[in-house]
Amino acid sequence: MLFNSIDFAIFLPLVFVLYWFVCKKHLRLQNVLIVMASYVFYGWWDWRFLSLILFSTLVDYSVGLYLHKTTTEGRRKALLWTSIGVNIGLLGFFKYYNFFVDNFVTAFSFFGASIQPNTLNIILPVGISFYTFQTLSYTIDVYRNKLEPTRDMVAFAAFVSFFPQLVAGPIERATNLLPQFYKRRRFHYSKAVDGLRQILWGLFKKVVIADNCAQFADLIFDNYTAYSGSTLLLGAVFFAFQIYGDFSGYSDIAIGTARLFGFDLKQNFAFPYFSRDIAEFWRRWHISLSTWFRDYVYIPLGGSRVSKALKVRNVLIIFLVSGFWHGANWTFIVWGLLNALYFLPLLLTNSNRSHTNVVAEHRILPSLMEFGAMGLTFMMSVLAWVFFRAETITEAFGYLIGLFNISLLKIPEIRPTYLLVLLMFFLTIEWLGRSRAYAIEVLGLQKPRFLRWGFYFLIIFLMGLFMKTNETPFIYFQF
């Protein structure tokens, strides 16, 4: 079920009414409703894959209980690896089976051998990369004795399948989200209004910014040989805003929806395109995934408290794995490698944490140096996004070769003035709200009613004016 669909517009109020008016006094009944609603939400896409969520839930719930019961280190490790093996095994089969088979065939063909293996017509379950990592965080934290295993099967099932963030995050830690299912939730009007405000901004990002950028990014990327370098640059910039508006928009809707039901999810995006270097960018982009890899892969490998050679190894591993997490294609691996190469000079010069505050803090405008640093970081990200968007490595390099030639100085053939104006409006609002959890959060802080409602109606008007007539899926559903 899509957030930007009529189905969800009916589903959400219905669940909200049942949750607060029918199940209000019964915590367990509320949790049961959440599980049922989450399974309906996911099964709306393809009910057959509900069995995967249920299987992962049962495995990790059981592993958690057995980890608590045994003190033998060997058995505890065996239980942990059972959980890792089951979850990564399912993810690997559905997401990477054909990728490895195809590359196996290519490798043998290189040496003159011809083999005909069986490939499968595998449908990738929506959100499998997200809920797999979420449930793994539970077993790993129980193994590390950072979390008491739950005996409440309903609460655990709700944690794994919580519908606002089930299919595209944020990837919640068990230490943050699971305890919230144990506590009685009370309805707070101000919290619900704040949730609706964040949902509104997330929808604007998706249906106005992302979908309109997608229209031109797709046109340019699909016909890149026909356009000048300046148009290709514009296409790459449009894709950068498409993926940001699409993914951060989803996160805003998910976080706002969770707040309607009394839950607090972690911030997943913190205005990454205002970053002053690539290290800051990765602290602000897809925060839930970046911190997951940091805590469960990077730090166990030794993190930054090792020799320079091992630091380089660890960074390469973390970015390559992150790239591969996004999809079974070499383009994602090259995208991860390129970001690693961007990041390594900062790490090796101990300047990767030079910018931990908000840019131009307590000021309206950035300095010239800050503006230049943001522009450079943004363009580095834009070039990396070319590999993320391209279908093949050949296409990505062809796109970049077409971009970096004398035609880069020409006037672009495609100049959607209305979209450029929308992007300027969007960036202005994001800039003014960059110190908040989301851009328009500040409107809830004692602002005049006419200002608040005037802005809300403006956003709704723009959505009605520029949204596409067809329901467009979110980019990260494919991951």
| 298-331 residue pLDDT tens | 999 998 888 889 999 999 999 999 998 888 789 9
User: What pLDDT sits at residue 48?
Assistant: 84
User: What pLDDT sits at residue 119?
Assistant: 57
Residue 181 has pLDDT above 80, yes or no: yes
Of residues 41 and 3, the one with the higher pLDDT is: 41
Q: Decide if 322 is inside a domain.
A: no
Q: Decide if 349 is inside a domain.
A: no
Query: Do 194 and 182 fall into the same domain?
Result: no
User: What pLDDT sits at residue 101?
Assistant: 65
Query: Do 174 and 255 fall into the same domain?
Result: no
Cis peptide before 170 (omega within 30 of 0): yes
pLDDT band at 451 (very low <50, low <70, confident <90, very high): confident
Query: Do 151 and 54 fall into the same domain?
Result: yes
Query: Do 181 and 194 fall into the same domain?
Result: no
Q: Decide if 30 is inside a domain.
A: yes
Residue 203 has pLDDT above 90, yes or no: yes
Domains: count for the chain:
2
Q: Decide if 407 is inside a domain.
A: yes
Query: Do 162 and 145 fall into the same domain?
Result: yes
Query: Do 173 and 44 fall into the same domain?
Result: yes
d(CA 464, CA 200) in angstroms, rounded, equals: 12
Among 160, 187, 214, residue at a domain's last position:
187
Query: Do 359 and 219 fall into the same domain?
Result: yes
| 116-146 tens-digit pLDDT | 655 556 677 788 889 999 999 999 999 999 9
pLDDT band at 387 (very low <50, low <70, confident <90, very high): very high
d(CA 78, CA 61) in angstroms, rounded, equals: 15
Query: Do 126 and 266 fall into the same domain?
Result: no
Residue 340 has pLDDT above 60, yes or no: yes
Residue 472 has pLDDT above 90, yes or no: no
Of residues 477 and 422, the one with the higher pLDDT is: 422
User: What pLDDT sits at residue 422?
Assistant: 96
Among 187, 206, 239, residue at a domain's last position:
187
Locus of tokens 């509320």: 30
Q: Decide if 301 is inside a domain.
A: no
Q: What is the mean pLDDT of residues 291-296?
A: 94
Show Cβ contacts of residue 428 under 8 Å, excluding neighbours closer than 6 positions.
none
Query: Do 71 and 178 fall into the same domain?
Result: yes
Of residues 246 and 107, the one with the higher pLDDT is: 246
Query: Do 395 and 471 fall into the same domain?
Result: yes
User: What pLDDT sits at residue 473?
Assistant: 75
Q: Decide if 331 is inside a domain.
A: no
Q: Decide if 291 is inside a domain.
A: no
Q: What is the mean pLDDT of residues 151-157?
A: 95
> How many other CB atoms sit within 10 Å of the CB of residue 393?
14
Residue 171 has pLDDT above 90, yes or no: yes
Q: Decide if 131 is inside a domain.
A: yes
Q: What is the mean pLDDT of residues 323-345?
A: 92
0.85 exceeded by the pTM?
A: yes
d(CA 327, CA 369) in angstroms, rounded, equals: 36
- As annotated, the active-site residues are 326
- Dihedrals phi, psi of 455, to nearest 5 degrees: -70, -40
Q: Which domain holds residue 46?
A: 6-187
| 249-284 tens-digit pLDDT | 999 999 999 999 999 999 999 999 999 999 999 999
User: What pLDDT sits at residue 99?
Assistant: 67
SS (H, E, C) the chain: CCCCCHHHHHHHHHHHHHHHHHCCCCHHHHHHHHHHHHHHHHHHHHHHHHHHHHHHHHHHHHHHHHHHHCCCHHHHHHHHHHHHHHHHHHHHHHHHHHHHHHHHHHHHHHCCCCCCCCCCCCCCCCCHHHHHHHHHHHHHHHHCCCCCCCCCHHHHHHHHHCHHHCCCCCCCCHHHHHHHHCCCCCCCHHHHHHHHHHHHHHHHHHHHHHHHHHHHHHHHHHCHHHCCHHHHHHHHHHHHHHHHHHHHHHHHHHHHHHHHCCCCCCCCCCCHHHCCCHHHHHHHCCHHHHHHHHHHHHCCCCCCCCCHHHHHHHHHHHHHHHHHHHCCCHHHHHHHHHHHHHHHHHHHCCCCCCCCCCCCCCCCCCCHHHHHHHHHHHHHHHHHHHHHHCCCHHHHHHHHHHHCCHHHHCCCCCCCHHHHHHHHHHHHHHHHCCCCCCCCHHHHCCCCHHHHHHHHHHHHHHHHHHCCCCCCCCHHHHC
Q: What is the mean pLDDT of residues 152-175?
A: 93
d(CA 239, CA 275) in angstroms, rounded, equals: 18
Query: Do 202 and 216 fall into the same domain?
Result: yes
d(CA 261, CA 447) in angstroms, rounded, equals: 25
| 422-437 tens-digit pLDDT | 999 999 999 999 999 9
pLDDT band at 237 (very low <50, low <70, confident <90, very high): very high
Residue 209 has pLDDT above 90, yes or no: yes
Among 155, 187, 219, residue at a domain's last position:
187
Q: What is the mean pLDDT of residues 452-473?
A: 88
Mean pLDDT of the chain: 90
Query: Do 116 and 233 fall into the same domain?
Result: no
Provide, rounded to the nearest whole percent, the portion of the chain with pLDDT above 90: 73
